[in-house]
Amino acid sequence: MPTRVDGELFASAKSSGAVHSRSAAQQIDHWARIGRALESSGSTSHRDIERVLAGEASYDDLADREQAVVRATWDEHISDGIAGLDLQVELESTSDSWVEADVDGLVVERRPDSGAPTATRA
């Protein structure tokens, strides 16, 4: 049955699904089944999970299943944070140079004040 999902959720599902040989739709279905199982499980405390995510309780005090939920949530937050980074724009706004690898494996020095990067073999 067709369902609309948030673009960020779809992108995360596509990325995670590729690692597990699943389509984005299959990954979302997988996550939904896990969520349903966790919510119906009497051994998982959503309140305790929320307290850890809010920084009010210790991760180490959670049971294994609850820790898995927290790790999945942290992974999602980290992925969202990385997706929101635009380091090139940030670095270009400074007067400092930086280095990165290009698609061919060359180490490229970038300087915000010059047009052409300098490339060397790594």
Question: What's the domain range around 102?
Answer: 87-121
Tens of pLDDT, residue by residue over 89-118, are: 888 888 888 888 888 888 988 887 765 566
Check pLDDT > 80 for residue 73.
yes
| Residue 109 placed within a domain | yes
**What is the full DSSP assignment across 4-65?**
---HHHHHHHHHHHHHTT--HHHHHHHHHHHHHHHHH-TT--HHHHHHHHTTSS-GGGS-HH
Give pTM, 2 decimals: 0.47
- 51 and 70 share one domain: yes
Residue 73 lies in a domain: yes
CB-based burial, 58-91: b 16+ in 10 Å, e otherwise: eeeebeeebeebbeeeeeeeeeeeeeeeeeeeee
In-domain check, residue 2: no
Residues 62 and 109 grouped into a single domain: no
**pLDDT tens, position by position, 12-66:** 999 888 877 888 988 898 888 877 777 776 667 778 888 898 999 999 999 888 8
Domain count, the chain: 2
Q: Let me know whether 26 and 69 are in one domain.
A: yes
